[in-house]
Amino acid sequence: MATKPAKKSAAPKNPLKRDDNERLLTGWGRTAPSMAHVVKPGSIDELRDLVAKAGERGILARGLGRSYGDAAQAGGGTVLDMSAFDSIDLDTVHGTVTAGSGVSIDSLLKTLVPAGYFVPVTPGTRMVTVGGAIAADVHGKNHHVEGSFGSHVHALDLVTGHGRVEDLAPTRKAEHFWATIGGMGLTGVVTKATFDLIPITSSLISVNTVRCPDLDSVMASMVENDDTYRYSVAWIDSVSPSGRGVITRGDHAPSAQLDAQQALDPLAYEPKVVATAPPFIPSGLLNKFTVRAFNEAWFRKAPKSRQGELQPIGEFFHPLDGVQEWNRVYGPGGFIQYQFVVPDSAGYLIDYALKRLREVGAPSFLTVLKRFGAANPAPLSFPQPGWTLAADVPARVDGLGAVLDEIDGLVAASGGRLYFAKDSRQSPEMVAQTYPRLAEWQGVRDEMDPRGIFTSDLARRLSL
Amino acid sequence: MMDALGEPQSVLVLGGSSEIALETVKALPRNRLRRVLLAGRPNAARHAAVESLTALGIIGVEAIDFDAKDTASHGGVIDGVFDAGDIDLVILAFGVLGDQDAAEADPSLAVDVATTNYTGAVSVGLHVARRLRKQGHGALVVLSSVAADRARRANYVYGSTKAGLDAFAQGLGDALHGSGASVLVVRPGFVRTRMTAGMPEAPMTTNPQDVAEIIVKALRKGKETVYAPGPLMYVMGVMKNLPRPVFRKISEKQG
Ligand SMILES: Cc1cc2nc3c(=O)[nH]c(=O)nc-3n(C[C@H](O)[C@H](O)[C@H](O)COP(=O)(O)OP(=O)(O)OC[C@H]3O[C@@H](n4cnc5c(N)ncnc54)[C@H](O)[C@@H]3O)c2cc1C
Ligand SMILES: NC(=O)c1ccc[n+]([C@@H]2O[C@H](COP(=O)([O-])OP(=O)(O)OC[C@H]3O[C@@H](n4cnc5c(N)ncnc54)[C@H](OP(=O)(O)O)[C@@H]3O)[C@@H](O)[C@H]2O)c1
């Protein structure tokens, strides 16, 4: 019998070898990296195919990675770059837009503003995608009167765990719709959405500024006057024990308010980007002294009181976008943004939290206080009526974890909670306690993703 | 998942009753710790280790069966652990000192030391690396020794296994570099544990708590190699380069 040479069985694939599409991903805070296979689907069919083939480490959509913690990464999984979903269809009859989920607010504004429209909600950076805005149900300076992003969405297309495209709306499969708003990408992949726009007649914002000597006067002024403004936010000097601050409020300026020069092109929109922060900055650069100096300068720069100043959109809404990659100033240790909401009855926690952060020596570079209005029906949406405080803190501060856990406890006891898009450190127990509709949401999610393929490092860390 | 403040949720200790490893677990930030697996041979020491961590209020401490010498079982043990959930930190701590004198008389005893310290570590280390790679994050701490830097007459069998382990761990760290997973090589000097009980102490002797603190700090900083105590790095830098006759003299004196 002629013996054929035994066919060599294929050598097992080397599990330590790197694939070309592997990328280390972090959030904006540059902490806790994990590696994922980053893939860019070019069409709905490609996307459905990727979802169908998703492995046991799961799959997740990522926008521009502007969430601070681990919401947009999935260790060992497939992470979808959604930038090919980039269509923008403006409907001037209904005053709505239908945009691909990978479209950024930055590019939307470039199309919308010259046409006389503004997005219904913008976060403090325009470098977020429509998908990210929906998944985190982002809020802006107008939350106290107009609610969060999801409240303005009429319809969205979602590729679920079944690999099907679901056409969702507040009136169609409402449960699936609201589970997706604020659902942190865990119910599926949004491919496009239709939402309301704000008609504008100029690209300028008419801004009123008040400087307040202490936190009490900041809060009193906000309670009294915020409701008469569409946009309002306060910056707080986190270094000064007084908690002094600057409140800026405003609305889109009517074209009638523009001077002759501005009136020539009332809808002109040219946001400026100044410079990129150097790639390597010693973490010592941002210390108690530089933070103190920065906060002092910011306070001094503001007028005691000024009415009707006309500011460009970028200056009013997205001041940080002026410096690209500013997140690098915190150095290689990265940073966290701690953001909670508490009901009005627990407003005293604002002062207490700032005091505890000062005591632990965690210099907050930028601290923002805002009032929230009514919540929407989304089970995992963060905003609820009350106060929300956001503070940037370097991650490598001794004792920071214990202090934040302590504040978490008080926030939870008062009926408040933390924002998933900013979180990088809360405990799963905190989530279970402060998002009372978590189990209900999980039930709906399991129906939409029976194989449990949509996951993220955030979801793993918090047992979502 | 390790969080932004470096708080792990899950730890696997290979050599679950190692005093250095247990002190390391105790020194870790534990606000988020929910799963601590102590892998080792079933015995009283392992049982006591579970008790001692649990008594500190650490949640989810569990013993699992693991024998460094039974390399055929390693894949299954490691897969079982990782299939049940991600592991943020693995501490490879098992090891035996052996008896140099006896080993020279009976080479099978030297084989035993080599199988545990080197062969076993290579086997389980590669299985761990495979799973850390797959999950895309996590750190592996490997307890090498200053003995790896230069073998002494008095314990060169042990020293040679640590030298092999050390080289292996460095290479593994390079293989994993940039993959989200990382390897930290730890080189302690003389540490007061049951392994060294009754032996004359060497200069710069430390306690397991000291080594633990150094490991935790190095992890936080993302270091790849660390000595314990730190200044031993300079001492060993000199030792490694001493001419053989000089080194022989010095190590003879030390016994
Ligand atoms: C300087 C700065 C200021 C900010 N200010 C505010 C603010 O004022 N208000 C506020 O609410 N937030 C604010 N944020 C947070 C930011 O708005 C949110 O984190 C937002 O989700 C980021 O969008 P992204 O496109 O970068 O999404 P990513 O960070 O990439 O992803 C965020 C989440 O969205 C999911 N996701 C992304 N795309 C899709 C998709 N197509 N389908 C399904 N899920 C998807 C991801 O899986 C992830 O869970 C700020 C962030 C920065 C950096
Ligand atoms: N102490 C020092 O001075 C010193 C200095 C440098 C480096 N180190 C290294 O540090 C590590 C920890 O040492 P230590 O001081 O903490 O010593 P230890 O307390 O004696 O711990 C050694 C551990 O290894 C385990 N082990 C031995 N053989 C095993 C096997 N076949 N399978 C599974 N587990 C096995 C032991 O478990 P059993 O109970 O089953 O035996 C014990 O848990 C060792 O690798 C050691 O070489 C120690």
A204-428 CATH choice from 3.30.70.580, 3.40.50.1000, 3.30.70.2520, 1.10.3720.10: 3.30.70.2520
Q: Are A101 and A130 in contact (CB under 8 A)?
A: yes
Axis crossing angle, helix B121-135 with helix B156-176, rounded to the nearest 10: 20
Q: Is A18 on the interface with B (CB under 8 A)?
A: yes
Per domain, the residue ranges of chain B are 10-254
Confidence of residue B112 (pLDDT cuts 50, 70, 90): very high
Query: In a 3-state reduction of DSSP, which class is residue B61?
Result: strand
Least confident range of A293-297, B95-99, B112-116: A293-297
Q: For residue B37, give the DSSP letter.
A: E
Q: For residue B153, give the DSSP letter.
A: G
> Mind listing the pLDDT tens digit for each residue in A223-253?
999 999 999 999 999 989 999 999 999 999 9
What average pLDDT does this structure show over A151-173? Answer: 97
pLDDT value at A11 more than 80: no
pLDDT value at A3 more than 70: no
* Longest distance between any two alpha carbons in chain B, whole Å: 53
Q: In this structure, are strands A59-62 and A117-118 parallel, antiparallel, or unpaired?
A: unpaired
Least confident range of A26-30, A276-280, A316-320, B50-54: A276-280
Residue A87 is predicted with a pLDDT of: 98
Confidence of residue A1 (pLDDT cuts 50, 70, 90): very low
Report the C-alpha gap between B27 and A105 in whole angstroms. Answer: 45
Of B165, B159, B164, B167, the closest CA to residue B103 belongs to: B159
Of B231, B245, B250, B229, the closest CA to residue B154 belongs to: B250
Output the six-digit token pair for A252.
Answer: 């889109």
Residues of A in contact with B180 (CB under 8 A): 24, 33-35, 75
Report the C-alpha gap between A67 and A74 in whole angstroms. Answer: 13
Output the six-digit token pair for A249.
Answer: 């409020």
Residue A440 is predicted with a pLDDT of: 98
Report the C-alpha gap between A331 and A282 in whole angstroms. Answer: 6
What average pLDDT does this structure show over B114-133? Answer: 98
pLDDT value at B223 more than 80: yes
Residue B255 is predicted with a pLDDT of: 52
End-to-end CA distance of chain A: 62
**Pairwise CB contact (< 8 Å): B137 & A425:** no
Q: Which is more confidently placed, B40 or A361?
A: B40
Report the C-alpha gap between B189 and A266 in whole angstroms. Answer: 73
Rama region for A9: left / alpha / beta (φ>0; ψ in -120 to 50; rest): beta
- Active-site residue list of B: 158
Q: Are A413 and A47 in contact (CB under 8 A)?
A: no
> Mind listing the pLDDT tens digit for each residue in B134-185?
999 999 999 999 999 999 999 999 999 999 999 999 999 999 999 999 999 9
CA B208, B210, B215 angle in degrees (round to 5)?
A: 95
pLDDT value at A275 more than 70: no
Q: Which of B3, B136, B220 sits opposite A76 (nearest CB)?
A: B136
> Mind listing the pLDDT tens digit for each residue in A129-153?
999 999 999 999 999 999 999 999 9
CATH domain B10-254 topology: Rossmann fold (3.40.50)
Rama region for A13: left / alpha / beta (φ>0; ψ in -120 to 50; rest): beta
CA B139, B142, B143 angle in degrees (round to 5)?
A: 145
Q: Are A66 and A128 in contact (CB under 8 A)?
A: yes
**Pairwise CB contact (< 8 Å): A34 & B133:** no
Q: Which of B3, B129, B136 sits opposite A75 (nearest CB)?
A: B136
B44 C-beta neighbours (distance < 10 Å), count: 8
% of chain A exceeding 70 in pLDDT: 94
The ipTM is: 0.94
Chain A: residue whose CA lies nearest to B173: A16
What average pLDDT does this structure show over A81-100? Answer: 98
pTM: 0.95
Output the six-digit token pair for A99.
Answer: 């945009």
Q: Are B121 and B73 in contact (CB under 8 A)?
A: no
Which ligand 1 atom lies nearest to the CA of residue A101? 41
Report the C-alpha gap between A389 and A395 in whole angstroms. Answer: 18
Chain A: residue whose CA lies nearest to B135: A76
CA A279: distance to chain centroid? 23
Q: Which ligand is nearest to the CA of A168?
A: 1
Which ligand 2 atom lies nearest to the CA of residue B116? 31
A283-to-A121, A236, A280, A323, A332 alpha-carbon distances in Å: 34, 23, 9, 18, 7
| CA torsion angle A60 A63 A67 A69 (round to 10) | 40
Residue B192 is predicted with a pLDDT of: 97
Report the C-alpha gap between B50 and B61 in whole angstroms. Answer: 6
Report the C-alpha gap between A182 and A180 in whole angstroms. Answer: 6
Q: Which is more confidently placed, A426 or A238?
A: A426
Of B17, B8, B168, the closest CA to residue B89 belongs to: B8
Residues of B in contact with A15 (CB under 8 A): 129-130, 133-134
**Pairwise CB contact (< 8 Å): B135 & A400:** no
Q: Which ligand is nearest to the CA of B41?
A: 2
